[in-house]
Amino acid sequence: MSGIWGNKLKVSIFGESHGVGIGITIDGLPSGVEINMEDVMKEMARRAPGKSKLSTARKEGDVPEILSGFFQGKTTGTPLCAVIRNSDMHSKDYGKLKDLMRPGHADYPGFIRYNGFNDYRGGGHFSGRITAPLVFAGAICKQVLEAKGISIGAHVKSVGKIEDKSFNEVNLNKELLEKLKVKELPLLAPEKEDEMRSTILEAKKDQDSVGGTIECTVLGISAGVGNPFFDSVESTLAHLMFSVPAVKGIEFGKGFLMSELRGSQCNDEYYYDGDEIKTYTNNNGGITGGITNGMPILFKVGIKPTPSISKAQRTVDICEKKDAELVIEGRHDPCIVQRAVPVIEAVTAIGILDLVI
């Protein structure tokens, strides 16, 4: 079971979507770090469900209960463990899913992998609900990084075919990232919001769902962080991105577009800005040779449409061993992109802290 990640900083997740609770243990945090729990709760609220028509109607407070590793407002240096109790479960909605495998979900491979003993309610341990503990851990890691002058932020780059602007690849500031965090649809071009909302609500009306992309940046990180090959900054972040349910792709800097260009168009040329070395462009997303070059880290992830949709779909009944048709009931997000933004920021914070500790 791959529930543990990390080198110097280790995180271990546990729980199921409709179980008693979900949670995380963080090992390797330095001692004596003051944690602002109000800021942690703001991060949790960004991901929490049930806030608008753009997300699932399931309502969860997502209040973490810290069990260890935190005393008198500061980290103790021992493993920090927190649990988030589940409260708004409609497990009866999932009764027939014991035998009917949901297309696009982990039901079938999970059934095979765990010999039929996996908790299938709400997706069990495969559910996006498990990202709540990751956001908790990421919120703590963000505060540790902020003390080092490192900031992380993201925005919705696209929903369906509706595109937001891209981050300025060389001129970014923390103030912009803070403004994005308070928006339900964090966009650089607010005029695109109505189109995106319409795209999501139209999919919902059609008993369907829609995906999109998220662009994320890391500011204030110095040159020289990371390693070549297996522990490169890209491989560290990519590992964590693909640990988030629904992420199906990642590209750093210009990414796949670079395959169409020449070296002279891709290379980021250097110059001195006083005593600091910078690059005129940031086509490589702030990383070369697996190591940071001092420019903002920039990457995009692709989020697939929510697989739980109310349209009739073809599937199989593994009890009767025959083909079947499935109409999924229950409460589901017509689009998870906007709720995934704080999750992407959180796992980025976990990965960067592991690299800089």
Residue reference for tokens 């810290």: 66
- 10 Å CB burial of residue 61 (0-12, 13-18, 19+) is middle
Cα 303 to Cα 46, 90, 111, 328, 337, distances in angstroms? 17, 26, 24, 21, 6
Beta-strand (E) ranges in the chain? Answer: 4-5, 10-15, 21-27, 64-68, 70-71, 74-75, 80-85, 151-159, 162-163, 212-219, 247-252, 270-273, 276-279, 287-288, 291-292, 297-303, 313-317, 322-326
Q: Is 294 annotated as a binding residue?
A: no
Does residue 18 have a known ligand-binding role? no
Q: How many other C-beta atoms lie within 10 A of the C-beta of residue 191?
A: 8
What single letter denotes the amino acid at residue 330? G
Question: Does 222 appear as a known binding residue?
Answer: no
Torsion angle of alpha carbons 113, 118, 120, 121, nearest 10°? Answer: -150
Q: Does the annotation list 332 as a binding residue?
A: no
Annotated binding residue 306? yes
- Do the Cβ atoms of 25 and 83 come closer than 8 Å? no
Q: Is residue 259 annotated as involved in ligand binding?
A: no
Is 310 labelled a binding residue?
no
- State yes or no: 305 annotated in a binding site: yes
Instruction: Tell me the three state secondary structure of residue 65.
Output: strand
Question: Is residue 44 within 8 Å of residue 135, measured between CB atoms?
Answer: yes
304 a known binding residue?
yes
202 vs 210: CA distance, rounded Å: 9
Q: Nearest 5 degrees, angle CA 12-CA 23-CA 58?
A: 135
- 127 among annotated binding-site residues: yes
3-class DSSP state of 148: coil
| Residue set of the binding site | 47, 53, 125-127, 289, 304-308, 331
| Residue set of the binding site for NADP(+) | 47, 53
| Residue set of the binding site for FMN | 125-127, 289, 304-308, 331
